């Protein structure tokens, strides 16, 4: 195996008071537990010089109401990325994370469909727009190629300069 990309995730809106045990488990299961055990299962098959790329979130550095459990799960992905970069370095495997900001995907379509909320999201980026899937995919593709061979243990912000 050359490249493993962990990109599944859920991002429910829930205050701390509204976060049930079931929701907590669901978010951690999808956003943290699944990537952890997928890496573990794939590890014997990843060749020297291979890549592990985890999807994180810009919300690990930006406070957002009703996103605590999501941000916490992605913060754990950042820490996992650092730990595994150190662990897999001896095998020549790089481990990095990509931290998107607001991206125009199905996950965000409900609220980005409202003009006022979209305008607010656009105003948070120094590039004055919402990201597109290719903005993230291009960074993932770079991390997957040999040109990134000297990059490991990094969380790369792909938010268009959100909240600088």
Above pLDDT 90, what percent of the chain? Answer: 82
What is the tens place of the pLDDT at every residue in 125-146?
A: 999 989 999 999 999 999 999 9
User: pLDDT value at position 106?
Assistant: 82
- Determine the average pLDDT of the residues in 74-84: 99
What is the tens place of the pLDDT at every residue in 99-114?
A: 999 888 888 878 778 8
**Mean pLDDT taken over the chain:** 95
For the cut 90, the answer to whether the pLDDT of residue 70 exceeds it is yes
Paired with 156 in beta bridges are 98
Model's pTM, two decimal places? 0.94
Rounded CA-CA distance 164/160 in Å is 9
**Reported confidence tier of residue 30, pLDDT bands at 50, 70, 90:** very high
- Determine the average pLDDT of the residues in 89-101: 98
Tally helices (H) and strands (E) across the chain.
6, 4
**Reported confidence tier of residue 161, pLDDT bands at 50, 70, 90:** very high
Rg (CA), the chain: 16
Q: Kindly write down the DSSP assignment for every residue of 68-101, as one continuous string.
A: HHHHHHHHHHHHHHHHHHHHHGGGT-EEEEEEE-
CB of 80 within 8 A of CB of 32? yes
User: pLDDT value at position 108?
Assistant: 80
CB of 30 within 8 A of CB of 9? yes
- Determine the average pLDDT of the residues in 10-19: 95
Structural domains of the chain in order of their starting residue, each with its CATH number: 3-158 (3.40.50.720)
C-alpha distances out from residue 147 to 11, 65, 141, 142, Å: 32, 38, 10, 7
For the cut 80, the answer to whether the pLDDT of residue 54 exceeds it is yes
- Please list the active-site residues: 70
């Amino acid at each position: 195996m050359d490249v493993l990309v962990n990109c599944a995730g859920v991002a429910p809106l829930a205050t701390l008071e509204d976060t049930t045990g079931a929701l907590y488990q669901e978010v951690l299961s999808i956003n943290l537990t699944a990537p952890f055990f997928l890496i573990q299962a794939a590890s014997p098959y990843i060749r020297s010089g291979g890549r592990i790329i985890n999807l994180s979130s810009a919300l690990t550095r930006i406070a957002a109401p009703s996103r605590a459990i999501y941000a916490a799960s992605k913060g754990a992905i950042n820490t996992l990325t650092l730990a595994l970069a150190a662990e897999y370095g001896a095998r020549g495997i790089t481990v990095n994370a990509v931290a998107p900001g607001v991206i125009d995907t199905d996950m965000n379509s409900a609220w980005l469909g409202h003009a006022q909320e979209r305008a607010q999201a656009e105003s948070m980026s120094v590039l004055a727009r919402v990201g597109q899937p290719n903005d993230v995919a291009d960074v993932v593709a770079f991390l997957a190629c040999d040109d990134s061979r000297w990059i490991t243990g990094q969380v790369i912000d792909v938010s268009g300069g959100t909240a600088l």
